[in-house]
């Protein structure tokens, strides 16, 4: 397969691009993570959300520990080529390492960020390695 | 107003954070741009999408030239505090400088990014200054 489509992505100085995962049915934004070239290529190849973990400096197959795999439905690129949008089905209905459906669970209310979405599952019961609950 | 909520945002090394603008009704993702502290504060104060243009190195009141203002409905922050999500009403129904509803108009089809969404209005008729059609 030609790699022109990968060359057309505008990678930042670290070789990364932000990727938004959106629920393909509800339109809810689930999370934003980063991809390097390999992560984007593998996402397409394996038809699931695969990212680059900046904190762990390695590929992160979303759901590898939790089972909360993101099955790919569509990939889009924005007009200046520097943001990726994934339409996914979020297995288990939980994208966030806090056990919530979405990472965007805090709303600005006056001068405070208020968590408004419920924890669906305790993180301790999601992750095998309790010492490293955060996916990223 | 206390500025603790601004301190709780995890600004990157350039003092910026990516912000997603999403249509508050349809859930369509309109665009992603960047905000500095001032842009985020002004977005809340003026209840409209205000960004930091990295290319022009100045504040960018979305719609200042085009009239395509983004009226704010809600602001969310993600779990690690490094991405902002705006729920907006996109006046004029056009967020992209190409004259399309959304900047995410290209879909990966095999090994090609294919523009699939229509141009609703020619950019030349949107922007007064034809020499600088791009908002960012």
Span B2-24, pLDDT tens digits: 799 999 999 999 999 999 999 99
Distance of CA B108 to the CA centre of its chain: 22
Structural fold of domain A4-93? Ubiquitin-like (UB roll) (3.10.20)
pLDDT in tens, A13-53: 999 999 999 999 999 999 999 999 999 999 999 999 999 99
Share of chain A above pLDDT 70, in %: 93
Residues from chain B that touch A74, judged by Cβ atoms under 8 A, are 107-108
Binding residues of A for Mg(2+) are 78, 80, 82
What pLDDT score does A130 carry? 43
What pLDDT score does B25 carry? 98
Residues from chain A that touch B29, judged by Cβ atoms under 8 A, are 20, 22, 29, 85
User: A99 near A126, Cβ under 8 Å?
Assistant: yes
The closest alpha carbon to A80, from B134, B87, B116, B68, belongs to B134
User: A99 near A127, Cβ under 8 Å?
Assistant: no
Assign B127 a pLDDT band (cuts: 50, 70, 90).
Answer: confident
CB pairs under 8 A between A and B: 112
What pLDDT score does B131 carry? 42
**CB neighbour list of residue A45: distance below 8 Å, 6 or more residues apart:** none
Superfamily, domain B4-97 = Phosphoribosyl-AMP cyclohydrolase (3.10.20.810)
Contact B111 A27 (CB under 8 A): no
Q: What is the DSSP string of A77-118?
A: E-TTS--EEEEEEEGGG--STTSSS-S--EEEETTEEEE-SP
> Which of A29, A105, A108 has the CB atom closest to B20's CB atom?
A29
A79-87 mean pLDDT: 98
B56 three-state secondary structure: coil
Assigned token pair, B129: 């200054």
Domain boundaries, chain B: 4-97
Residues from chain A that touch B72, judged by Cβ atoms under 8 A, are none
């Amino acid at each position: 397969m030609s790699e022109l489509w990968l060359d057309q992505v505008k990678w930042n100085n670290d070789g990364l691009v932000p990727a938004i995962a959106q629920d393909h049915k509800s339109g809810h934004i689930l999370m934003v993570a980063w991809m390097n070239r390999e992560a984007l290529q593998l996402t397409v190849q394996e038809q699931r959300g695969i990212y680059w973990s900046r904190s762990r400096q390695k590929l992160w197959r979303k759901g590898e520990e939790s089972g909360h795999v993101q099955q790919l439905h569509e990939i889009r690129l924005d007009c200046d080529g520097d943001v990726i949008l994934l339409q996914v089905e979020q297995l288990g209905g939980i994208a966030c390492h806090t056990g919530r459906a979405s990472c965007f669970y805090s709303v600005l209310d006056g001068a405070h960020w208020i968590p408004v979405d419920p924890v669906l599952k305790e993180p301790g019961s999601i992750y095998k390695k309790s010492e490293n609950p955060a996916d990223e």
